[in-house]
Every structure is written in C-alpha cells, then in structure tokens.
Structure 1
Amino acid sequence: MKKTFYSNGKLLITGEYVVLDGAIALALPTKMGQNLVVENGTDKKIIWKSYDSDGSIWFDDTILFSDIVSKKTFESNEVKATLIEILHQSYKLNPDFINESNGYIVSTSLTFPKFWGLGTSSTLINNIANWLQIDAFVLLKNAFGGSGYDIACAQNDSAILYQLANEKPLVKTISFNPVFKENIYFVYLNKKQNSKTAIANYRKKQGDFANSIVIINEITEALLNTTELQEFTKQIEKHEVLMSEILEIKTVKEDLFPDFDGPIKSLGAWGGDFVMVVSVNNPTEYFAAKGYDVVVSYDEMIL
C-alpha cells in the first residue's frame, strides 16, 4: 500500500537566532516543499531514493533495520548517517515501525533545488513524523535541535507567528499579504548555510538578549501592521542592524551589496541561503551582474 506525504518549505522573516530565546518570529511557508512516498518492502530494510527538483537522484542507498535500531554510524556517508539518526529517533518514539514491518521502499522528491536551504531537513522530518504518527517537533528536537519554526511552516499553509515558551512551540497562523509585495524579492546567495553550526556560534555569544528580543518583537508587529513600503523598509533595516550587533557580523548589505538602493535582510542563518530584498524596481539585473542569478519574486516563492 502506497502512502504519500507532503510538507512546505520555509523562510524566517524576523527573529532569526533570537527565536531560540523566546522572540516572536514571523515565518512564511513556501510554495515549494518535499514529497515522501512509502511502500511496503522486504528483508527488514529500507530501500531509499531521494530526488532533487530536476529529477536527478542525490541519495540512493539501503538502510538495514538493525542499523536504525543500533544507530550505526557511517562516517564516510554524512547523508546516510543523518538519515539513520532521524530514523533512530523515530524508532524510539514509535518502535512499531520497525518491529511490526518487513521493510519499506521510500522515495523523497524536492520541488526546490536542495541547495536552496528552504527546508530539505525540516520537510523530511515532518513527512517522516506524519508517516509514523509521531510529534514532528519532538523528532526535530531529538535529532537536530533548533527552534522548530521550520516544522511549523511545514505544517501550515499560511504565515505564522512562532515562539518558544518554556521550550514548547507556540504557533499562531496569521494573514500576511503586504500591499507592496510586488516590491519584495528573494535572492539566493549561492551558498548553503549549515543551520546547526550557525546556532552553535550564536550560543557562544552568551549575551543577555532580553532587551533585543523586546525590540525584535516590536519590529515583527510593525511589519505585520504597516501598509507603507517606507515603514516596512525602516523596520527591516532596524532588524538587520540589531542582529548585526548581536552576532558581531556585518550585515549582508555591508558585506556584499553596499551600493544597492534598498534594504536587504538576511533570512534564517546569516551568511547563506536566501536574503529578502525590497526594491522599487525589479533588481534581477543588479544581482545577476554580481553573480547572483536566482532572484525569486514574492508571489513565486510564498504560499
């Protein structure tokens, strides 16, 4: 019997990093995501294939049930090791998926290029959690860590406000449809960022971010309520400066695009993946001239 699951990708618009410490973050699910198809198999193993958005296979391997149970390590195969970690944590939450099965044939397919950083891991974790009827937030926490906003995006088809309260996720679906959305673009920086490493670096800061979190929350509220492009721009720039001070890193505009006419905001882990750009005119030509060819409009990207 074939079972199919789908989860949305994600973009974190406000609250990057400080969402881990209780800030209210604005996050948007994307029109692109990932499918998971599961069929019955044999021989106490999983035959697993993962397809990129262009149809090419980027992972193709066999995983023994015994390797999942024992959490066997594969130092020479990082993808397989990560997948076994997820499946091992899934087994701990629902042992029946191993104990009462003969095997599985599994395929995953992304609808965005996997290097884009729109949630290859989070969409997989949410799909696996749906398949095995376990809590995706718990699975994420046990397997990887992280705030969980990406799981919330995977599960919802509208914008969300996301907050961690006593380490528990609070998710509020909201309407977010800026009247000036034709002026919002997303640019890929040609570099996939490792969220786990970025979080670890943030944790080393060991600062007291209570006042900063209050300001971030105010910015998030302002972005939700404004109908003026100028005010939206002002709040984005304020957010970038504040996070730059917290992280002790230059803003992406200072670092890469100092001559750009308009605000540029990092999304999620600083230093890679997508940035959000606000521009009166289509900025594709500007970014292409600098070697950044992936410029996606708001309507093309956001669900």
Structure 2
Amino acid sequence: MAEVDTTLSATQQQQPFIYQRLDGKVTTQSVEISEQLKPFIYFIYLNQKQNSREAISNYLKNLKSERTQNIEKISNLTLSIIHSSDLKEFENHLKTHEEIISKIINQTPIQKLKFRDYTSGIVKSLGAWGGDFVLVTAQNEEDLEYFRLKGYDIIYKYDELAY
C-alpha cells in the first residue's frame, strides 16, 4: 500500500484508498482490489445525497471504550475486505462491515432498507448511509436489471471508476 495525497478529496483520488482518522491523525493508503473480484463489482448511483450528521451524532453517543473496540473491528474488517480474492469471502466481509456500521450509527443497512429482495449479491452503502452511491456485487450484467427496473440506470463497472 502506498501513501495517498491527503490534500485531495475522495473524488479527486487517482486510485482506491483507505482513510483513517484516529486521535486527530489522518492516514490514507492506496489499495489494490484483487483482479479476480473486479468483474463482479459495480457502483450504482442512487441520487439520494444524505447528510452524515445524524450518523456521526449516533456514533459519538457511544462510550469511548465502545468506539475504540468498534474502530478496531472495522479496521480489521477493512483489511480483510481489501485482501479478499474470493467473491463469497469478499461479500461476507462486506455484509459484516455493513452490519457493524448499522449498529454503530443506528441505521438500517441499505440492502435491508431498499433492496431486500436482491439475492444475486451484496449491496453496500458508501459514504453517508444510503447516499449517492452503493457498491454492488453481481455475478453478471443480467443481475443488474434488478436495479434498472427500480429506476437506477446509472451503473458503473469497477474498472470504469477505479484505475
């Protein structure tokens, strides 16, 4: 993993990266997703920008000891996600990540909230809970018809957004 330019916003980064802010210190590192997973990863535009304030407020209500434990869990899980090379393993890690975050911020996971009947993969929130984009895993392009039928026509393959 290489250092990333922290002066750039997430939208300006040239490669996928992880971001961590701990005790006032920000660290970012570029990451490489397994080539075996890339054909199954899509980003779908929901056009439902969310305000993160409520999620942050809920997170801050946790006791400091709980926050520290949650940070450790999420950090370890993030490493498992980015080091996955098997699709089912990757999906299981994403699902666990989503479940932990949902408890921390007291929000329903996006797949349970909006895409309960999508069974061909995982729908993972990105950014503010249920915001502009979700990460979706799908076995093939036909699986994405589910989202198009729901009115979500802006769908990007992993390689179209990540270099």
Shorter-normalised TM range: 0.7 to 0.9
Quote the residue 1:293 is aligned against. 153
2:97 equivalent among 231, 239, 250 = 239
Are 2:72 and 1:219 equivalent residues in the alignment? no
Q: Deviations over 1:20-73 (max 9, x none)?
A: xxxxxxxxx9xxxxxxxxxxxxxxxxxxxxxxxxxxxxxxxxxxxxxxxxxxxx
Does the C-alpha gap of structure 1 residues 246 and 286 become closer, same or farther in structure 2, counting only changes over 3 Å? same
Q: What's 1:3 paired with?
A: none
Query: TM-score, structure 2 length as denominator?
Result: 0.83
- Equivalent position of 2:23 in the other structure: 166
Q: Tell me the residue number matched to 2:37.
A: 180
Structural mapping, 1:25-174, within 5 Å: 136=7, 151=9, 154=12, 156-174=13-31
> 1:161 is matched by which residue type in structure 2?
I
Does structure 1 residue 302 correspond to structure 2 residue 162?
yes
Cα distance between partner residues in 1 of 2:117 and 2:136: 13
The structure that is strand-richer by fraction is 1
Unpaired segments of 5 or more residues in structure 2? Answer: none
1:84 matched to which residue of 2?
none
> In the alignment, is the contact (CA less than 8 A) between 2:33 and 2:83 conserved in 1?
no
The CA distance in 1 between the partners of 2:10 and 2:145, in whole Å, is 34
For 1:186, the aligned partner's letter is F
One-letter amino acid of the counterpart of residue 149, structure 2: A
Q: CA RMSD in A?
A: 2.3
Contact persistence 1:162–1:171 (CA under 8 A): yes
Q: 1:204 to 1:193 in 2, by over 3 A?
A: closer
How far apart, CA to CA, are the structure 1 residues paired with 2:48 and 2:31?
A: 31
Instruction: Indicate the structure (1 or 2) with the bigger Cα radius of gyration.
Output: 1
Q: Secondary structure at the match of 1:204?
A: helix
Aligned residues: 153
Q: Secondary structure at the match of 1:272?
A: coil
Alpha-carbon deviations, 1:87-115, whole Å to 9, x = none?
A: xxxxxxxxxxxxxxxxxxxxxxxxxxxxx
Pairwise CA distance, 1:224: 1.9
Q: CA deviation at 1:153?
A: 6.0
Distance in 2, matches of 1:289 and 1:185, equals 16
The equivalent of 2:133 in structure 1 is: 274
Is the 2:46–2:131 contact (alpha carbons within 8 Å) kept by the matching residues of 1? yes
Contact 1:179 1:227 in 2 (8 A): yes
Aligned equivalent of 1:252: 110
Match of 2:57 in 1: 204
Question: CA offset at residue 300 of structure 1?
Answer: 1.0
Q: State whether residues 34 and 85 of structure 2, in contact with CA within 8 Å, keep that contact through their aligned partners in structure 1.
A: no
For residue 165 of structure 1, report the CA deviation from its aligned partner.
3.6
- Distance in 2 (CA, whole Å) between partners of 1:279 and 1:152 is 24
Q: How far apart in 1 are the matches of 2:11 and 2:81?
A: 19
SS in 2 for 1:209: helix
- SS of 1:255's equivalent in the other structure is helix
Deviation at 1:152, TM superposition (A): 6.0
